[in-house]
Structure 1
Amino acid sequence: MNRKLLLLLVACLILAVLAHAFFLHAWTEGRFMVGQNDGLQQMVTFKKLLYEQYTNGNFFYTYRFGLGGGTYSQLAFYFSTSIVFLLSAAVTFLLDSLGLIGTVDVVYWAKAAVFISVTRLTVILFVTTLVFRYISSRWLPAFLGAAVYGLSVIYFRHATYWEFFADAMLWVPLLVYGVERIIREARPGWFIFAVAVTMFDNFYFAYINLIFIGIYMLARLWIRLEANEIGVGQKVKLFVIGGLVGAGISAVSFIPAVYSFFHNHRPDYPFPVEAVDFSDNILFTSRYVIVPALFLLFAFTFFFYRKAMFRLFSMLSIFFILLHFSPVVASAFNGFSAPQYRWEYVLSFTLGAAVCAGMSYIHELSKKKFLMASAMVIAVYLIFFFRDEEMEFLSLPGIGVFFLVILTLIPTAGFVWSSKKSWYYFLGAASLINLLVFSNAVQYVISEMAGVYKVSEQYLHSDKYNGKEQRELLQEVQDQDAAPYYRIDWKVGYLNNTPIVQDFNGFSIYSSILNENLLYFYLYDLKVDMGRESVSRYSTLSNRANLYSILQGKYVVKKKDDTGNVPYGFQETARSKNYIVYKNTNLLPFIRTTDTIFTERDLEDANVLEKEHAMLEGVITARAETTGAEIKEVPDIIKKTRLTEVGAVYEDGKLTVTEKEGGIDLTRNEPVRQNGDFYLRFHLESLAKRKGFAVKVNDYRTTRKHNQSVYKTYVDDLVIRVPKANKLKIRLPKGNYVLTDLALYEEDYQILERAKKEAQEETHFDWSGNKLTIRYDNKQGDRFMMLPIPYERGWEVRVNGEAQGVEKVNYAFVGFPIQEGVNDIQLVYYPPFFQVSLLVTVVCMLLAIMLSKRRTIKKITKHER
C-alpha cells in the first residue's frame, strides 16, 4: 500500500471513530450499539447461533432454530452469507483460539457491535473515496463526498437496529466503480465482482442495489463523463455479460436464499398505499435522510449543471429525493409489500457524489451566484421549518440545523471572496465537523429517545432477557435429563428467540423468513394459538398435550402464578423462586412408525382435535389419493351449553362489550365429571380500526393486533384449549366485535394415553450437523416412519441404500415409507438447489477469470469497432 492510501486509510479510521463517539462512550459505561427489539431478539441472537454452528463445522441445519430449520437459506436475510459477519466470525474464532476473549455469546456480540460498525464505516469511507477519486475528483472533495455518504442518518439507524442492513452500503460504490470501469476501459472484472458480492451477501439488499445500479447505468448512457468512453452497444453488451456472470457466481448463496424467501409465509399488505407523502422533513428531523446544506448550495448554483459529473449525481439525487416522498416507491423497494424506507442509503450516496463534484468546481463560483444560491438555501430551510407543525421556534433541532447551515455558508463565502486555499480547507473541515456533530446527534436520538440506552450488560443478564434464575433452572433440567432432542416450552415474555439465547431446544422463533409449512401448521392447519398475534414468528403449543407428545415437548416452564395453564399429563419436576418446571408423562418416541395412513384430503373438514387424533393413531400425508382410513368423530358440544352475557350485549354474531371488561359465559348443562380439556373454537374480529386487545378464556390470555398493524396475521379463527370447567368465560375489553362460529370439543386423552402405552422403545439414531442416521428393525411391518423434523426442500433420504422421496406428513414434518425388517436409513439436508447452484458458481467463476483478462476484452472491443 502506497503512502497516500495508507494516509487515507488512517484518515477514514479516525473519522469513523469520531463518528461513533457517542456509542463508544456508551460502551465504556456498559451500554451497547444494539436495538432493544430486533437488535437483541435477532441480530446478536442469530450471530450467536451461526457462530456456534460454523465453528462446529455445521453450515446448513440446526435443530435449535425454532422447531428445526435450514439456517443457511432461512437466515440468509440476516447473517448466514453476510461477508461482514463471516469476517468478524473468523476474527472472533482466532481470538477465541488464542484465549484472548471469553465466552462468545450474545453479550460478546453486543459488545462487539460498535467496533464492527467502526470497521465497516472505515471501509465504506475508504472505498467510496477511491471511487469518487477515480470518477473525477481531487482527494478532499472525494473524502468529503464519502463522508456525506458514510456518516448519513440511515447508516447509524441501520447499524444500530438491523446491523446487516448497513452492510449494503459497502457494495454501492463498488457497483458504481464496476460500471465506470466498463464505460471507460471496457473491463468488466470489477463489475462482475461487485454484482457477485452484493448478490452473495444479501439477496434483499441486492434487489435494492441492482435497481439503483440499473438506474445509474441508464443515466450514464445519457450523460458522458469522459470523451473516450466506449460505445453504447459495447456498454450494454458488457453490462449484460458482466451482470450475468456476477449473478452466476453468487448462485450458491443467492438461489437458496431466494427460494426461502418465496417459501416463507406472510399475509399480503391489505391497505392502499399512498402515491405521495410529504410529511417527512428531510432537512431537519428525517429518520432516513438529511439533505446536507452544501448539496443545496451547489444544487442552486445552476451553472454547475454544465459540469457532467455534477449534473449526473445532482439529477440522480433530486430524482431519488422525489422518490423518497412516495410510499409506492417504498413499497416497490420492499418487494411491493408494506412501505419500508430502507433504500435511502443510495440517495445518501448520490448526495455525497454531488457534494464531491460541487467541491471540485467551487473555485468557479462567483460572488453573485453564491449570494443567489445562499438566499435560496435559506429560503428552503425556512419553508421546511415553518411547514412542519412539530417544529418549535427555539427547538434544539431547529437551532442546531440553522447553526450547521451557517457553519457551511461562512467558510464558503470566505473562499468565494478570497479564493484562498485556507478557506477551502476550512470549508472542508467545517463540513466534516457538521457531519460528525450530526452523526453523534443521531446516535443520541437513537439511544435516548428510542430506548437503545436500556441495552446494557446488566439488562442482558436480567430476568427480562436472560436471567440467572432462569439459566440455573434450565441447567438443572438438562443435568437431570441428558437426552439431546427433547424440547422445553419456555420463553422470556414475548422474546421468541429465548431458546437460542439460553441454549435449549424450544418451540419458538422470531425471524423474517421461516418455513412456510410450519407457519401454515400453526395458523391454519392446527390453529395453534401463540399467545400473541404477529407475523414472522411462531411459539408454544398453546398447552395442547397431544401436540407436545408428538413433537418432543418434554418440559414446560411456567411462572408460579400460572398453574392454571399446565398441559394435561404434565407433572412438576423442578422449581425455583419464581418458576416451576413440569414434565410430560405421555411423551412419544422421536422416531415413530405406523401402518395407518390418512391424507389431508380425508381430513379436509375435520376439526383440529380430530387432526391431532389422526396424528396419534397414524400419519397424515399430503398425498392426493384417499386411503379410506377413518378417524373417530369428535362432536361439537356447544349446544350442550347455555350462553350468558356478562357486561355485554351479544346478538346476531355482534358482541358489544359495555363494561371495562365483559363478554359471554358458556355454562355446561351437565356438570363436568372427568379430567381433560375443552377446545373452544370461535371467529373473532375487532371493529375498532386501531385498537389491539387481549382475549381471555378462563385463565388463558392471548393478544390480537389492531386492524391497521403491518404485523397482523388476519387469521381470526381461534382455538383455545382450557382445562375442563363447568363454565367457560370469554372476556374482552370494552368495544365492538364480531364473534361467530362458536364450537366446543371435549378431549379426554384416551387416544394419547393409548398411543403412549403402545409406543415402542426409543430407537437409537445419530444426528451430526445436516446428517441423520437411523437403524430401525421394523418388526411390526409398518409402512411409514415420521420424525418431528420440519419438512422443507433439501431433505434427502436413503433406505437400505435406495434413494426415495421425503414426504411432508402431519402438515409440516418429515416422513417416508419404510420396508419390513431392518431399515438402514440415512437422511441428509442441503440447502435448496445447493449442488446445482454450486456448480453454476464454479463455472461462472471460471468465466469471470477469462473475461477479466485484458487481452480477451481488447479482442471483443476491437471486433465490435
Structure 2
Amino acid sequence: MQMKKTEKIKIPLLLFVICLAVCWIFVLQYGIFGSDLDWVNQHSVLPDYFRLRFYDTGQLFPDITWNLGAGQNIYNFSYYGLFNPIIWISYLLPFVPMSLYIQITSILSYGVSVVIFYCWLKKKWDDRITLACTFLFLLAAPLVYHSYNQLMFVNYMPFLCAAFLGVDKYVEEKKKALLLCGVCGMILTSFFFSIGGLLAVGIYGASRFTERGIKVFLKDSISLAGVLFHGVLLCGILLIPTAFVLLGRGGNGSQAEAVVSLFTVQPMRFLYTPHGVGLSALALVALFDGMVCKRKWQEKMLPVSLFLIFTIPLVGYVLNGGLYDKGKVFIPFLPLMCMEIAKYIERIKKRENSFRDILPYFITAIFLFAGKTFWALLDCGLMLLFFFLRKRFSIYPLAVWASCVILFCSGWAINKGSNHIIPKEDYEKILDRDTKAEVEEILEKDTGWYRMEEQQGGKKELQDINRIEDSRQWITSMYSSAYNEEYYKFRRETYDINEHFRNNMMQAVSDNPLFLQLMGVKYVIGNHPLAGYELLEEGENGNLYVNSHAAPIGYVTNEVVSEKNYQTLDFPANQTAFLWKAVTESAGDDGDFPVMNTCSLEILEINEEENQIKKTSFGWSFSLSTEKKVSIPMKDVPMTEDLLSVRFQVKNKKDKDMYIRLCGQTNRLTAKSHEYANHNESFAYTVTLNPENQTADFIFGPGEYEISNLEVFTGNLSELRNEKLYETPLKLEKTEGDTLICSVNNKEAGYLITSIPYDEGFEIHINGEKTSVEKVNTAFVGAKVPKGKCTIEISYEAKGKTLGFLCTGAGILLLFGYKIRCNKKGRMVQ
C-alpha cells in the first residue's frame, strides 16, 4: 500500500522539481524572480501595502487607501491581490518580506499548476502522452515569463486547472465543490483573466456534455452555467465594487483600436510568444486536425470553439474589456490547447497515411503563411516529419517532445533576452533600507498631518511610484489600471502637470514646487532643492528637504473664490491661484490673484550633420539623432525670482516617443501606436530657478518634432503665497480604518478644504451631524464648517460594496442550501 502511494507522488514530485530547475535556468541564475516592469512597482509593492494596512487597522475588507494617489478608493487597486487568498496567507507571516513572499509563491504557483494539469490529463490518457503534454504545458512561453513579470496573467492557473478537474468531477459525479473552489480562487486571484478562464471552463464542460446527447447537453450546460454563476456570486464583494470603479474611469485609459474585420489570422496567438498561449506549430496542427478529421460533431465542438475564439476579433475585444484586441487574454486557453494536442497524438497512433491526415499540416502552413510567420513553417515541416515517423517510434510521442525542445530553447531566449530581470544587487538598492529608516524617523519626530515623497528621478522614481515605506506615509503618486477620475483630470487638464512617463495611467510624483505645496508635501527626499524647500539633512541616498509653508492636508478658510472665476485663468495662473485662494462652487466671483512675470526666451539654432534645431514661422523645428542639451540665459530676470514656468505645444512627426527636459523636469509624448499613449501634446513646466545661475537648461530628446506657442514666465514663490489661507489647519486626531477624525477651532464660519480627491463615497460629520460634501479646488473633498470648536469626521464607503456583500452572502446561503439538500438526499437513499 505504501509502495503504491510512493509511486503516485513520484512523477508529480519530479515535475515540481523540474519546474524549480526551469525557473533557475530561465530567470534565477540572472537575478531575482522579478522584473523591472509592473512587478517592481505594482505586483510586489501593492500587496505589501495591503498587508501594512491590515496590520494597522485590522480590516480585511477596507474601502479606501489614504496613502496612495492622495487618497483613493481601494478597489482601484483590487487587481493586484486585494482579496487574493495567496496574498492573505502572507498576513500570517509578518516576518517574511513581501517581495520575497511574492517570488516564492509565484514559483510555487507555477509548479502547482503543472502538477494539477498532469493529474487532470492522467485521468484521460496513458502515461507517455500525459507526461509529454505536461512538459509542453510546463514549457509554454507565458507560464515562467509572466510568473515574474505580469503575475496576474498566470497566477490564477492553479485554480483554473483545478476547475477543469472539477468539471470532470461534476460531469461524472455531480459534485461541484472542487469546481466552485477553482472558479472562486481564479476570480479572487485575477478577476480580469478569470473572464477568459470562465469561458474556457464553460466550453470544456459543454463539450463533455455533448457526449451524452443533445438533451443532456442542453440541460447540463445550463446547470454548469449555474455553478459558474454561483462562483461569480460568491466573489461579489470583489467584483461589484471593482466594476463600479472601472465603469467610473471614463475614457482616459488605454485607447481601443477599431474592429476592422470579422476574422483575423494571427498565428502568434498560438506560437512561442508569452503574450499568447505560447506553444509550437503542433498546437495549430492538432486544432485543425480536430476540425477536419472524420469524427462526430460532438468531438469537433471543442476545437471549433477554440478556433473561433482565437480568430474572431470581437471575442478578443470582449475578453480585453473592450480596450483592445491583445493576445494575452488567450492564456487561460493554454490547458485546453495542450489537451487538444494529447487528443491528436492519441488519434494518429492507429492511422494510415492519407491526404486527409496530412491536410491539417497544409492548413497550418497556409495559416502561418497568411499570418506572415514564415520562419514558423520550419516548425510545421518538422512536425510533418514526425508524423511520418510515428509508426517507427510509436511508443513515444516524438512530435510533442520535439515541440518541448523548441519551447525550451525559445523560452530560454525570450527570458534571457527580455532584459527585464532585476539583478539581486540592483534590487537591494531599490529596497534601500536607509531610506525606509529615514522615513520612519521623520514620522516619529513629526506627528503632524502631511505628505512625504521620494524624488529620486528616472528609473528609481518609476520603481517607487506605489511604494509606501510606512503605513503613516502619504504620497500623491500612484500607478494602477483604475483611478480616481477627478484627481486624474485635475493633474492632466486643470493643473496641467508635466507627464514624464509614457504610460498615461502612471500618475508620478511631481517635481513641480507649486503642486507639492498645494498637496501638502512637507518633506521631500531627493537630490535637488526645490523652490520653497530647505535642506534639513544630507544623505547618501538623497537629501531630506522640508517646506514649513506647505499647505495642510485639511484646513478651514474664508479666503475663497468661485470655480467660475478660477476657470477663466490661464497658465501659469491656473497653478499659482491655489496658493492664494481656495476654490469653491458657492463662493462669490470676486477675487484677484498675483501673477508671474512674462519674459522672452529664444532657443538657439543648431545646424549639425545629425542634429538640427531651426527657427520657423510657427516656432522651432527639431531633427535630432541624439539628445541635445541647450542652456539659455534668462536675461533681465531679478535675482529674487525662484520659479520658471514654460509651456508650448508639441507636434511629433514620427510614431516614436519623444521627450523634452527643462531644469531636470521631463515631459514625454508617447508614440500614438502605443496602447497606453499619453497624448501629452501640451508641454507645461514649473521648475525651480537657480538664483546663482539663472539659465533655462533644456535637454531635447532625439526625434523629429515641432514646438509652437512658447510661453515663458518667472516669479517668486513667497510673493505668490497667501499666508492667511492656512491659518486654521485641521489636526488629525486619529485614523480609524476608513474614517479620519479631526479637530479644528474656527474663529468664524468657513469652508473645509482638503487635498483628498473627491468621490461620491465620502461622508462628512461635523460634531456628529452629517453635512453635505462639496467639491473644492475643482477636484477635492470639502464642506461648509460652522464657527467654533468642531470635531470633523471624514469617512468613506466604496460604491457597490454593500451590494457586493449581499451577493457574497447570497452565494453563501446557496451553499448552505445545497449542503442541506445533499444531506436530505443522502438520508432518503439510506
TM-score (norm. length: structure 1): 0.80
Q: Match of 2:542?
A: 579
Out of 744, 748, 754, the position equivalent to 2:716 is 748
- Contact 1:309–1:357, Cα closer than 8 Å, also in 2: no
CA distance in 2: counterparts of 1:147 and 1:316, whole angstroms: 25
- Contact 1:679–1:744, Cα closer than 8 Å, also in 2: yes
Out of 70, 78, 81, the position equivalent to 2:80 is 78
- Contact 2:113–2:157, Cα closer than 8 Å, also in 1: no
Q: Is residue 336 of structure 2 the alignment partner of residue 350 of structure 1?
A: yes
1:290 alignment partner, SS class: coil
Q: Match of 2:103?
A: 110
Question: What does 1:540-551 correspond to in 2, within 5 Å?
Answer: 540-544=509-513, 546-551=514-519
- Contact 1:573–1:583, Cα closer than 8 Å, also in 2: yes
Alpha-carbon distance, 1:834 to partner: 1.5
Amino acid at match of 2:752: M
- Residues 192 and 385 of structure 1: CA distance in aligned 2, closer, same or farther (over 3 Å): closer
Alpha-carbon distance, 1:235 to partner: 4.3
Q: Match of 1:54?
A: 54
- List alignment gaps of at least 5 residues for structure 2: 607-612
CA distance in 2: counterparts of 1:8 and 1:519, whole angstroms: 55
CA distance in 2: counterparts of 1:812 and 1:260, whole angstroms: 17
Q: Is residue 239 of structure 2 the alignment partner of residue 251 of structure 1?
A: no
Out of 512, 515, 519, the position equivalent to 2:481 is 512
Question: What does 1:114-513 correspond to in 2, within 5 Å?
Answer: 114-126=107-119, 128-129=120-121, 133=123, 148-149=136-137, 151-173=139-161, 196-212=184-200, 224-227=210-213, 230=216, 232=218, 234-235=219-220, 238=223, 241-264=226-249, 266-267=252-253, 269=255, 272=258, 275=261, 278=265, 280=267, 285-287=272-274, 288=276, 289-291=278-280, 293=282, 296=285, 299-300=288-289, 305-307=294-296, 310-323=299-312, 329-358=315-344, 361=347, 365-369=350-354, 373=357, 375=358, 410=389, 413-415=392-394, 423=395, 426-427=396-397, 433=401, 437=405, 440-452=408-420, 454-462=421-429, 465-467=430-432, 470=435, 481=446, 485-491=450-456, 493-494=458-459, 495-498=461-464, 500=467, 502-503=469-470, 505-513=474-482
Amino acid at match of 1:776: V
1:206 alignment partner, SS class: helix
CA distance in 2: counterparts of 1:445 and 1:857, whole angstroms: 58
- Contact 2:557–2:728, Cα closer than 8 Å, also in 1: no
Alpha-carbon distance, 1:519 to partner: 1.6
Q: Match of 1:775?
A: 743
- Contact 2:26–2:411, Cα closer than 8 Å, also in 1: no
Amino acid at match of 1:119: V
Out of 67, 70, 76, the position equivalent to 1:64 is 67
CA distance in 1: counterparts of 2:765 and 2:266, whole angstroms: 60
CA distance in 1: counterparts of 2:101 and 2:185, whole angstroms: 27
Amino acid at match of 2:295: R
Amino acid at match of 2:22: F
Q: Is residue 791 of structure 2 the alignment partner of residue 824 of structure 1?
A: yes
- Contact 1:186–1:857, Cα closer than 8 Å, also in 2: no
Identity of aligned residues (%): 14
CA distance in 1: counterparts of 2:811 and 2:290, whole angstroms: 47
CA distance in 2: counterparts of 1:358 and 1:2, whole angstroms: 35
CA distance in 1: counterparts of 2:604 and 2:334, whole angstroms: 59
- Contact 1:149–1:345, Cα closer than 8 Å, also in 2: no
Q: Match of 2:610?
A: none
Q: Which moved more, 1:16-25 or 1:681-690?
A: 16-25
Alpha-carbon distance, 1:450 to partner: 0.7
CA distance in 2: counterparts of 1:333 and 1:28, whole angstroms: 32
Amino acid at match of 2:16: A
Q: Match of 2:23?
A: 23
- Contact 2:580–2:722, Cα closer than 8 Å, also in 1: no
Alpha-carbon distance, 1:259 to partner: 1.8
TM-score (norm. length: structure 2): 0.83
- Residues 817 and 239 of structure 1: CA distance in aligned 2, closer, same or farther (over 3 Å): farther
Alpha-carbon distance, 1:506 to partner: 3.7
- Contact 1:518–1:812, Cα closer than 8 Å, also in 2: yes
- Contact 1:586–1:752, Cα closer than 8 Å, also in 2: no
Alpha-carbon distance, 1:841 to partner: 1.4
Q: Match of 1:419?
A: none
- Residues 813 and 588 of structure 1: CA distance in aligned 2, closer, same or farther (over 3 Å): same
1:602 alignment partner, SS class: helix
CA distance in 1: counterparts of 2:150 and 2:426, whole angstroms: 19
Q: Is residue 553 of structure 2 the alignment partner of residue 601 of structure 1?
A: no
Out of 505, 512, 516, the position equivalent to 1:536 is 505
- Contact 1:331–1:338, Cα closer than 8 Å, also in 2: yes
Q: Match of 1:711?
A: 676
- Residues 319 and 55 of structure 1: CA distance in aligned 2, closer, same or farther (over 3 Å): same
- Contact 1:598–1:619, Cα closer than 8 Å, also in 2: yes
Q: Match of 1:420?
A: none
- Contact 1:776–1:824, Cα closer than 8 Å, also in 2: yes
Amino acid at match of 2:115: T
Q: Give the root-mean-square deviation of aligned CA atoms.
A: 4.3
CA distance in 2: counterparts of 1:793 and 1:146, whole angstroms: 50
Amino acid at match of 1:627: A
Amino acid at match of 2:353: K
String of CA shifts for 1:535-560, please: whole Å, max 9, x gaps: 1211223332x33233221222333x
String of CA shifts for 1:136-167, please: whole Å, max 9, x gaps: 66677666666655553222333232112213
- Residues 147 and 815 of structure 1: CA distance in aligned 2, closer, same or farther (over 3 Å): farther
Out of 792, 812, 819, the position equivalent to 2:779 is 812
CA distance in 1: counterparts of 2:81 and 2:560, whole angstroms: 40
Alpha-carbon distance, 1:253 to partner: 0.7
- Residues 483 and 629 of structure 1: CA distance in aligned 2, closer, same or farther (over 3 Å): same
Alpha-carbon distance, 1:255 to partner: 0.8
Q: Is residue 617 of structure 2 the alignment partner of residue 632 of structure 1?
A: no
1:641 alignment partner, SS class: coil
- Contact 2:244–2:799, Cα closer than 8 Å, also in 1: yes
- Contact 1:186–1:238, Cα closer than 8 Å, also in 2: no
Amino acid at match of 1:835: T
Q: Match of 2:609?
A: none
Alpha-carbon distance, 1:249 to partner: 2.0
Out of 625, 639, 645, the position equivalent to 1:679 is 645
- Residues 736 and 200 of structure 1: CA distance in aligned 2, closer, same or farther (over 3 Å): closer
- List alignment gaps of at least 5 residues for structure 1: 97-101, 416-422, 860-865
Alpha-carbon distance, 1:720 to partner: 0.8
- Residues 604 and 411 of structure 1: CA distance in aligned 2, closer, same or farther (over 3 Å): same
String of CA shifts for 1:647-697, please: whole Å, max 9, x gaps: 34444435323677789999878543533313222222222222x222133
Alpha-carbon distance, 1:601 to partner: 3.4
2:216 alignment partner, SS class: coil
CA distance in 1: counterparts of 2:113 and 2:77, whole angstroms: 21
- Residues 149 and 277 of structure 1: CA distance in aligned 2, closer, same or farther (over 3 Å): same
Q: Is residue 791 of structure 2 the alignment partner of residue 791 of structure 1?
A: no
- Residues 613 and 341 of structure 1: CA distance in aligned 2, closer, same or farther (over 3 Å): same
Q: Match of 1:555?
A: 523
Alpha-carbon distance, 1:214 to partner: 5.7
CA distance in 1: counterparts of 2:268 and 2:551, whole angstroms: 59
